[in-house]
Amino acid sequence: YRPTLAEKLPAWEKEQDVADVHWEMLRPTSMASIGGATFEILDDGSIFVGGENPTADEYILVAPLGLSGVTGLRLEAITDSRLPRNGPGRARHGNFMLTEIEAKVRKKSNPKMDEPLKFVTASADYEQEGYEVDDAIDGKESTGWSIDAWRDPSLNVDRQGVFVAEKEVGFEEGSILQIRLDFSYGNNHGLGRFRLFAASGPREHLEIPPDIPAILATAVENRTEEQTDRLIDYFGTIEPESKKLLDKLAKHDEGKPNPPDTKAQTLVANPEPPTTHIHTRGDFLRPGDPVQPTTLAVLQPFEPRQEPEKKQPDRLDLANWIVARDNPLTSRVAVNRWWMHLFGRGIVNTPEDFGTRGEKPSHPELLDWLATWYMDNGWSTKDLIRLVVTSNTYRQASETRLDLDERDPENLWLARQGRFRVDAEIIRDLSLAVSGLLNPKVGGPSFRPPLPEGVADLGYA
């Protein structure tokens, strides 16, 4: 539908007249911070906040108003090299959290006479997920508008938000505007530099996102491709047919499952690993000679990777050493465990001990061949199991004979297949298959076959 939007865009642009909105930059005559911060008005009319940086703060600003009436405010958050990571916030990463913005218009001749400027809609050029600009006018101290600057330094740029009032407020003989900026979120999330504007004009033109009027004021032939795409994106949110499609998509998204609560934990190597010492007589207060990560000298040599700026062996070096070609122990142990799972007994009957106190392998050549084959085939466990279960040895019957019991009572020579106890899950599947109730479908929710009345009562008695 995007090509259709591009065709309809010129006609819509002709109907727009954002020039009838008048913006006036506010120059406060009174500024206060309940947390002890200081304010400095710069040459461009912006306000720099210094001094104390409390956990939570509240700015109260009073400015004369040249407009006869006010229909909205614009708050510009501005970066500054004096702020953490250039701001525009005062938090350690330059972020801010505007919990609430409130304003009221006072009569110039009688400041005690005032009327609140109630904000009903808001828009911004950027919003952090879960902390949208609308949250700054919802009357709650637990929500607010933020810009994600904590996550990525590239997001520490100038931002702006526009707040539209329910109706025009003002006094013909002159007005004074009082604004309260609340930063109750905590963690020093106040604004470090900002500028305020008051607007007079049709409310519907103020509800347009702050960057759209500038694009509309630019001649079509002078617009960048990015500006044109942005204008089409915005037009798509208000054009009736496109809005219907977007509403359908939003309704469809409501049915998607919630993401899992489990967090994927990650580990990052310390660029400066700590020095490890031998503790003299086991006393950690008496460090001896420093030592480096390595393996036992009686085993095969430990050869770390040679990389620039690599100071000592790491866990990847250990992993490579464990699966090295000149270390057949790992593959022998792995193969023996799968053999034990498939036959009921390992080629080495002490799977936890391949040393001098363990049992000798019943088929040493077979164990060596399987271990080598396992490594040659990329350590593929699936291929290993397929190789074993398709062999004639595995596919033998489990029936025993008297002569075999006398000659090989423990079936070390594998003249027959082993005898296994059937797991409870397999017994259940066999019962369901015989009764015709087995559901062979793979995946999906659990299947619960019908049960005779009262059969499960005893389990919950």
Q: How do residues 160-216 score in pLDDT, each as one tens digit? A: 999 999 999 998 888 999 999 999 988 899 999 999 999 988 877 777 776 787 788
Taking the C-alpha atoms of residue 98 and residue 135, their distance in angstroms, rounded to an integer, is: 9
Question: Please, what are the domains in the chain?
Answer: 1-20+208-240 (no CATH), 22-201 (2.60.120), 276-322 (no CATH), 329-395 (no CATH)
| Alpha-carbon gap, residue 30 to 52, rounded angstroms | 18
Q: Has this prediction a pTM greater than 0.85? A: no
Question: How high is the mean pLDDT of the chain?
Answer: 88
Single-letter amino acid code for the residue at 1: Y
Distance CA 93, CA 81 (A): 13
Residue type, 165: A
Mean pLDDT for the stretch of residues 338-364: 92
Tell me the CB-side half-sphere exposure of residue 328, using CA atoms within 13 A.
11
CA 257 to chain centre: 16
Q: Is the pLDDT of residue 406 over 70?
A: yes
Task: Give bridge partners of residue 128 from the DSSP assignment.
Answer: 131
List, for residues 11-43, the tens digit of each pLDDT value: 888 877 665 678 899 999 999 999 999 999 999
Greater confidence (261 vs 232) lies with 232
